[in-house]
Amino acid sequence: MPKKKNKTYLGQLAEAADKLFHGQAVDQYAAICYRRRPDSQAIEVLLITSRETGRWVIPKGWAMDKRLPHQVAEREAWEEAGVKGKAKKKPFGYYTYLKTLDTGGKVPSIVQVHLVEVVALQTEFKEKGQRSIAWFPPHEAATHVREPELKGLLGKVESLLGRQATGGTVDRKAS
């Protein structure tokens, strides 16, 4: 009997495409938490580990009653990483991934992502001790996450925020 190959992540997503196209995906909301280094103004983004697999991810969660999507992103950032910050109301983008349910089944999830500017980090928060947290330059963070669309979003963070910091233009010659 031939040895069964492990499916790639994209292969697993492709198998879930039918569910996506027929409205059987679940919605979640997430935060790309960022800060500027005081010494250089360089952008850093926060990654956390998932509780189940220890993979690097961003804070995300389910819709909450009476909270708008950007407010959910702020709340998840606090619960999962101790981040206090202000989320942009407009979504930064979206990505899809396969959410493993408590039953063991997998369902495609469409994640609406909001940028959250970190104003403070609290030492006490709901999921303290359940996750690791680390700061990375955006392009390095992109190499640590599994989801291709999230890699793309992380790759865009620095150029967007750099343009905003300089009033719309980036001087590529400045160091």
CA pair distance 128, 115, nearest whole angstrom: 22
pLDDT band at 14 (very low <50, low <70, confident <90, very high): low
118-171 residue pLDDT tens? 999 999 999 999 999 999 999 999 999 999 999 999 999 998 987 665 454 433
Residue 37 in tokens: 């280094």
148 is a domain residue: yes
CA dihedral (161, 165, 171, 172) in degrees, to 10, reads: -30
- 113 with 32: CB under 8 angstroms? yes
CA distances (Å), origin 117, targets 17, 64, 85, 87: 33, 21, 5, 6
13 in a structural domain: no
Which pLDDT score, from 0 to 100, does residue 28 have?
Answer: 96
Length of the chain measured in residues: 175
- Flag whether pLDDT at 172 surpasses 50: no
Q: How many structural domains is the chain composed of?
A: 1
**CATH at residue 110:** 3.90.79.10
Q: Provide, rounded to the nearest whole percent, the portion of the chain with pLDDT above 90.
A: 63
Question: pTM of the full predicted structure?
Answer: 0.81
Helix H segments across the chain?
A: 9-15, 17-21, 69-81, 138-144, 148-165
Q: Is residue 84 part of a domain?
A: yes
In a domain, 61, yes or no: yes
In a domain, 19, yes or no: no
Reported as a single tens digit per residue, the pLDDT across 89-124 is: 999 999 999 888 888 888 889 999 999 999 999 999
In which domain, by residue range, is 124 found? Answer: 28-161
